């Protein structure tokens, strides 16, 4: 699933993204209609465009949804809309808490989060929103646990902690974490995801939860991996990384330094495609950032500041044959650079 698909799904709009071309058209109509220079003919053409295809309506809804996050409330009408949006969000939050509280009364314990997410009892987003620890988009947070373990939580990530007398358990609900475990001879340290369990063996490692797989990279010590749908286990040594599903573990490959560079606010590209780099950058920023197909496979090297999207784009524009097209401050397309002359 693409970054745009994820953003569409989280916005409550159709989960399948309209084409980039249609989205760009919607953005251009949005700029024109809010410029103060649109004529009656322009508005009529826009309405005709909107009715031509359902994908046009989906794209328009997506553009409007993003714009609400970036445009200040300037009129009484917008204030009324903002108040309505606030009450709507509050009602949704109350319902989410009622769902979780009801399930908690039935299950009565920390194991609930892991079981519920595995069996789709409640949406992942609800579990993440109510997690013990979470980060917002763009936030990277270091957490000192009660046993001396340190956990770095990446952007838009969440986990629950369940420390018992015989076990230290962390459940990664979404996103990514880097863990430096503290020694404890009587209580193993485990990390659970939708795909299975990882047991730390004196370790520094990262875990990333994707839709269908878990990614594990081990930098120190070792980690034992146990997929949820099989009795098989495998020990992953320092300097290796793997991914695993409910039933299978991939072959190991050398650990990539990029898997822990994010704790220093660096996006490290080691012969990465431009498309993949932008997908990573999108995880840290709101708005729409798209790569045109003709430049998507350009190769990128170097380190880039994760918290400064504009600087990253300027750096890329200096070394690659690309042009940065800013339809709006928060609507950016990376295109092929046109030949001069």
Residue 112's φ and ψ, nearest 5 degrees, are -55, -50
What Rg value do the Cα atoms of the chain yield, rounded? 23
CATH number of 135-259: 2.60.120.1440
Residues in the chain: 341
202/13: higher pLDDT? 202
Q: Among 97-101, 216-220, 298-302, which stretch is predicted with the lowest mean pLDDT? A: 97-101
Region 203-213: what's the mean pLDDT? 94
Q: Using DSSP, state whether 105 is helix, strand or coil.
A: helix
Question: Of 153, 154, 133, 142, whose CA–CA distance to 267 is shortest?
Answer: 154
For 266-310, give the DSSP string.
Answer: EEEEEEEEHHHHHHHHHTT--SEEEE-GGGTT-EEEEEEETT-HH
Q: Is the pLDDT of residue 2 over 60?
A: no
- The pLDDT tens digits of the residues spanning 130-189 come to 789 999 999 999 999 999 999 999 999 999 999 999 999 999 999 999 999 999 989 999
Q: Is the pLDDT of residue 100 over 60?
A: no
| Domain boundaries, given as residue ranges, for the chain | 3-70, 76-108, 135-259, 265-336
Compute the distance between CA of residue 62 and CA of residue 7 in angstroms, rounded to an integer: 9
Report the DSSP pairing between strands 150-153 and 141-144.
Answer: antiparallel
Whether pTM > 0.85 for this model: the answer is no
Q: How large a percentage of the chain has pLDDT more than 70?
A: 76
**Consecutive H or E run containing 251:** none
Q: What confidence category does residue 252 fall into, taking pLDDT thresholds of 50, 70 and 90?
A: very high
Question: Of 196, 16, 12, whose CA–CA distance to 114 is shortest?
Answer: 196
Cβ-proximal residues to 297 (8 Å cutoff; 6+ apart), any chain:
273, 274, 275
CATH number for 265-336: choose from 3.55.50.30, 3.40.710.10, 3.40.50.300, 2.60.120.280.
3.55.50.30
Cβ-proximal residues to 147 (8 Å cutoff; 6+ apart), any chain:
163, 168, 182, 184, 187
Residue 89's Cβ-count burial label (10 Å; 0-12, 13-18, 19+) is exposed
Region 110-125: what's the mean pLDDT? 47
Compute the distance between CA of residue 74 and CA of residue 85 in angstroms, rounded to an integer: 15
- The pLDDT tens digits of the residues spanning 294-321 come to 999 999 999 999 989 999 999 999 999 9
pLDDT for 55 equals: 86
């Amino acid at each position: 699933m693409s970054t745009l698909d994820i953003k569409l799904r989280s916005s409550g709009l159709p989960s399948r993204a309209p084409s980039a071309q249609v989205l760009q058209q919607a953005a251009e109509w949005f700029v024109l209609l809010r410029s103060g220079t649109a004529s009656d003919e322009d508005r009529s053409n826009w309405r005709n465009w909107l009715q031509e295809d359902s994908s046009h309506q989906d794209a328009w809804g997506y553009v409007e949804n993003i714009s609400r996050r970036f445009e200040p409330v300037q009129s009484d009408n917008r204030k009324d809309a903002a108040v309505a949006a606030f009450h709507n969000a509050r009602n949704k939050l109350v319902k989410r808490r009622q769902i979780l509280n009801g399930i908690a009364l039935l299950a009565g314990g920390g194991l609930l989060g892991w079981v519920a997410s595995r069996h789709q009892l409640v949406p992942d987003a609800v579990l993440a929103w109510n997690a013990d620890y979470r980060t917002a988009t763009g936030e990277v947070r270091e957490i000192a646990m009660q046993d001396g373990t340190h956990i770095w939580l990446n952007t838009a990530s969440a986990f629950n902690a369940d420390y018992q007398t015989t076990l230290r358990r962390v459940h990664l609900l979404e996103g990514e974490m880097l863990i430096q475990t503290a020694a404890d001879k009587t209580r193993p340290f485990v990390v659970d995801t939708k795909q299975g369990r990882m047991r730390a063996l004196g370790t520094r490692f990262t875990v990333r939860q994707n839709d269908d797989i878990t990614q594990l990279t081990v930098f120190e010590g070792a980690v034992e991996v146990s997929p949820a749908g099989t009795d098989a286990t495998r020990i992953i040594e320092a300097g290796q990384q793997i991914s695993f599903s409910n039933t299978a573990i991939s072959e190991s490959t050398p650990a990539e330094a990029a898997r822990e560079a994010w704790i220093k606010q660096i996006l490290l590209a080691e012969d990465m495609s431009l498309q993949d780099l932008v997908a990573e950058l999108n995880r840290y920023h709101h708005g729409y950032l798209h790569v045109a197909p003709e430049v998507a496979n350009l190769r990128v090297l170097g380190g880039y500041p994760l918290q400064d999207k504009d600087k990253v784009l300027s750096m890329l524009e200096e070394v690659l044959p690309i042009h940065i097209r800013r339809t709006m401050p928060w609507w950016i397309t990376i295109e092929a650079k046109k030949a001069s002359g």
